[in-house]
């Protein structure tokens, strides 16, 4: 019981005791006064009982106690030395949680659209290690994901995906072989869509791995160089993460980045 509840409990107990004592020591009390003290006695007793009862735990929208599961709110920040980003379009149930070091977990059910993961606030041509579990049910991506500005570009180095290969809706530009697999390179244009600079029109660059995996090393320089040779140049790097994305689907992932 909190200190405030304890104080209220003591006050209510005092009132209850005083009421009881006054009833017992006033033999010639009128009926009206008797009713007054009786009502006071009952009210005080009810108040004491209410204060003694444990407070109910807050309950989340899915009926679970908030102490059982707390999802990291949508947004960006730093956690255990790693940058994280969690973008969410309302709809369905998405629970994203930062864990130790570069680890995160996310589960989703009948989501609209989300992108979540850990990495670095400023991207570069670094080698990125990742490992974990990835279990999509429907349309979903596991990728090295990032943005550049001047020009504004959204990029994916897609390591695994669910039921939909996004290359079917893009322009095939070529291939690059690296990190044990062939990747198909694609380019697309997004018109008046959400971006790190608000609603905008921008290019998308994709490398889509033929042999899906949920663990390994991504040599990003090999992709960036291959894109540049095809006229797909990046600008100034913004954030860069190993992201899980879901679109009108369900699933779960637990990924560690380094």
Question: 57, 103, 159, 245: which one is catalytic?
Answer: 245
Tokens of 218: 């991504």
Helix axes 31-52, 3-25, angle to 10 degrees: 150
Contact 241, 121 (CB under 8 A): no
d(CA 136, CA 245): 10
SS3 readout for the chain: CCHHHHHHHHHHHHHHHHHHHHHHHCCCCCHHHHHHHHHHHHHHHHHHHHHHCCCCCCECCCCCECCCCCCCCCEEEEECCEEEEEEEECCCEEEEEECCCCEEEEEEECCCEEEEEEEECCCCCCEEEEEEEEEEECCEEEEEEEEEECCCEEEEEEEEECCCCHHHHCEEEEEEEECCEEEEEEEEEEEEECCECECEEEEEEEEEECCCCCCEEEEHHHHHHHHHHCCCCCCEEEEEEEEEEEECCEEEEEEEEC
Active site residue 159: no
Known active-site residue 154: yes
Catalytic residue of the set 57, 69, 154, 159? 154
Residues with a catalytic annotation lie at 154, 245
């Amino acid at each position: 019981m909190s200190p405030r509840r304890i104080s209220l409990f003591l006050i209510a107990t005092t009132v209850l005791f005083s009421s009881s004592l006054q009833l017992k020591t006033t033999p010639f009390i009128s009926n009206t006064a008797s009713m007054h003290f009786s009502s006071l006695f009952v009210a005080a007793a009810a108040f004491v009982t209410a204060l003694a009862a444990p407070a109910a735990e807050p309950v989340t929208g899915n009926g679970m106690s908030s102490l059982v599961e707390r999802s990291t709110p949508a947004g960006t920040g730093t956690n255990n030395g790693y940058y994280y980003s969690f973008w969410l379009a309302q709809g369905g149930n998405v629970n994203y949680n930062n864990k130790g070091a570069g680890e995160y977990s996310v589960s989703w059910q009948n989501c609209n659209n989300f992108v979540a993961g850990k990495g670095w606030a400023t991207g570069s041509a670094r080698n990125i290690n990742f490992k974990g579990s990835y279990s999509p049910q429907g349309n979903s991506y596991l990728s090295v994901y990032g943005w550049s500005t001047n020009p504004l570009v959204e990029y994916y180095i897609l390591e695994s995906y669910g039921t939909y290969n996004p290359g079917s809706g893009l322009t095939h530009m070529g291939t690059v072989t690296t990190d044990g697999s062939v990747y198909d390179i694609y380019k697309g244009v997004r018109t008046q869509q959400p971006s790190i600079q608000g609603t905008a029109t921008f290019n998308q660059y994709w490398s889509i791995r033929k042999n899906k995996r949920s663990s390994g090393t991504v040599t990003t320089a090999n992709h960036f160089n291959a894109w540049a040779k095809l006229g797909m140049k990046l600008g100034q790097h913004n954030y860069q993460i190993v992201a899980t994305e879901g679109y009108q689907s369900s699933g779960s992932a637990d990924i560690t980045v380094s």
